[in-house]
Amino acid sequence: MSAQVIIVGGGPVGLSLALGLAHHGVRSITLEREPEPTTESRALVIWPRSLEVLADWGAFEPLRAAGTWRSKIEMWYAQTGEPLLQADFSMLSDVLARPGALLLPQSDTERVLRQLVAANALCELHAGYEATTLEQDSDGVIVTAHGPSGIERFRAPYAVGCDGAHGIVRHALGMTLEGATYRARAVLSDVTATGTPWTPPSPRVSFIDGTFTLGIEYAPSRWRIVSLVAEDASDEQALDSQALAVRLERLFGEKRAWTVTWSSLFRIHRRHAQCFFEARVAIAGDAAHLNSPAGGQGMNAGIQDAANLAWKLAYALDERVDAPTLLESYNQERHEMIMGNVERFTDSITRYGTPAVRRFGPLPLRLVRRWFRGPGMQRKLCRAIGMLGGRYTKSPVIDSRHPLAGRRVDDLVLADGVRINQRRGGKAALLAVGALATATIPPLGATVLQIGAAPRHWLVKPPTVLVIRPDGCVAAVVEKPTKERVTAAWQKAFALSPQTL
């Protein structure tokens, strides 16, 4: 197969990208060092924004069949049985087709994604191939890999490093992960009840002696236990099985038989590479940025990198497109989102949240619960947790003069009962708001959708046309539209040279 994109690393981000590229008709080769998917549970939750993207690429149903669906997430105080924090995604059913989160260990996510990639005629997965070098010239990229039958060379117009925090691609581009590593340490254990199972509610937290322990039941009788490590405790003490037994007793108030399937001690990072794209090579996922696992944003942010990048690589292969501008927008947009949202979340949770719960126990969570109790605040919380917020403001392909531009489009129900995203099917579209003369919609080959009026928070006055990109981001809001103005907005959104339309 002659690939158009080489993906180095077949973790959750690389595999998602392969599916995203195939959705846009792009052939890819994925080189993955490990013959089998990881057995580590690592990322446990797939948030609504990532699910929306994976649904566009045909991965939602198989993933959902393997996982546990939660439309509401409630955190409980283990000592008193009191609810501490609640995010009810069903509040967002007017703007989200699948209002909920999927609990699925990363090992299962990778297994399902591998099966989907293996079954896709446009994807080729080379498992057991370790990429060793990467070089690029003006026409393409050459990746050398060590496979079962020796050294092999792969060439393609573009390559993407999805090879994790220690991958070779970022090194080949001469970049590092800059930022901060916090002093706080956390210990994580996956525990299976071997006798009488612990019963939900889940997640539950305990606060005793200045430590915070969280337990999440991610599959029947399988719990993820995460605890902050006391500053004076050694790594050995933190990982000690006796210490885990104490944590479990605090969480569940009783002794039960259990086995540990995985444990890990980790520090919290807030780091990103200087640039996510250079000439013909991009980086995505942990290869590009590292964040706290608290809030479960690491893998999710990587899948959203793939959503931003997949269509841009597909368009960049078309010679009518100004590829450098479009691909530079990947760098600008994802940098802004990672630094402005994901890193800010890591920073506030580590710098303020961790010391607050150490000092005051459940009190900060009680206050947060009160703060987010009303429906308006619940919606805000669900949008933030579900990674549905954030805005690209500095992109060369987004006309950010209107406050809606650069945001994810709300997945509204259209007059015929079908939602915007279902009708778009993961492709670009024009959304006409209000009654428009047919002559104002240019024949761009895009799906044209229509709504009578926009939700108030869009701040859109009809008649208006929205340009929606394949990743569901609003690229432009064209008020008082004319054929020429909509065409110009479309050209900018897809970095098309003017003579192509």
Ligand X SMILES: Cc1cc2nc3c(=O)[nH]c(=O)nc-3n(C[C@H](O)[C@H](O)[C@H](O)COP(=O)(O)OP(=O)(O)OC[C@H]3O[C@@H](n4cnc5c(N)ncnc54)[C@H](O)[C@@H]3O)c2cc1C
Distance CA 194, CA 196 (A): 7
CB-wise, 114 or 469, nearer to ligand X?
Answer: 114
Give min distance, CB of 309 to ligand X, in A.
Answer: 12
Give min distance, CB of 30 to ligand X, in A.
Answer: 9
Give min distance, CB of 169 to ligand X, in A.
Answer: 8
Alpha-carbon dihedral of residues 220, 223, 224, 229, nearest 10 degrees?
A: 170
Q: Are strands 222-228 and 177-193 parallel, antiparallel or unpaired?
A: antiparallel
- Please give the backbone phi and psi of residue 330, each rounded to the nearest 5 degrees, phi first: -60, -45
Give min distance, CB of 298 to ligand X, in A.
Answer: 3
Give min distance, CB of 55 to ligand X, in A.
Answer: 18
CB-wise, 11 or 406, nearer to ligand X?
Answer: 11
Residues near ligand X, by CB under 6 A: 8-14, 31-34, 42-44, 106, 130-131, 162-164, 167-168, 188, 264, 266, 285-287, 293, 296-300, 302
CB-wise, 12 or 353, nearer to ligand X?
Answer: 12
3 state SS for 378-439? HHHHHHHHCCCCCCCCCCCCCCCCCCCCCCECCCCECCCCCEHHHHHCCCCEEEEECCCCHH
User: How many CB atoms sit inside 10 A of residue 472's CB?
Assistant: 21
Query: For residue 418, what are its two tokens?
Result: 């079908």
CB-wise, 31 or 473, nearer to ligand X?
Answer: 31
Question: Could you give the C-alpha distances from 492 to 7, 327, 440, 447, 488, in angstroms and in order?
Answer: 28, 13, 18, 18, 6
Give min distance, CB of 451 to ligand X, in A.
Answer: 33
Give min distance, CB of 22 to ligand X, in A.
Answer: 17
DSSP string, 295-310: TT-HHHHHHHHHHHHH
CB-wise, 300 or 464, nearer to ligand X?
Answer: 300
Under a CB-based contact definition with an 8 Å cutoff, are residues 307 and 13 in contact?
no
Give min distance, CB of 405 to ligand X, in A.
Answer: 28
CB-wise, 290 or 404, nearer to ligand X?
Answer: 290
| CB-based contacts of 359, cutoff 8 Å, min separation 6 | 210
CB-wise, 164 or 481, nearer to ligand X?
Answer: 164
Give min distance, CB of 131 to ligand X, in A.
Answer: 4
Q: Are strands 158-161 and 281-283 parallel, antiparallel or unpaired?
A: parallel
CB-wise, 258 or 345, nearer to ligand X?
Answer: 345
- Please give the backbone phi and psi of residue 450, each rounded to the nearest 5 degrees, phi first: -140, 130
Q: 142: left (phi > 0), else alpha (psi -120 to 50), else beta?
A: beta
Helices (H) and strands (E) in the chain, counts: 15, 24
CB-wise, 100 or 285, nearer to ligand X?
Answer: 285
3 state SS for 111-161? HHHHHHHHCCCCEEEEECCEEEEEEECCCCEEEEEEECCEEEEEEECEEEE
CB-wise, 60 or 154, nearer to ligand X?
Answer: 154
Give min distance, CB of 471 to ligand X, in A.
Answer: 18
User: How many CB atoms sit inside 10 A of residue 269's CB?
Assistant: 22
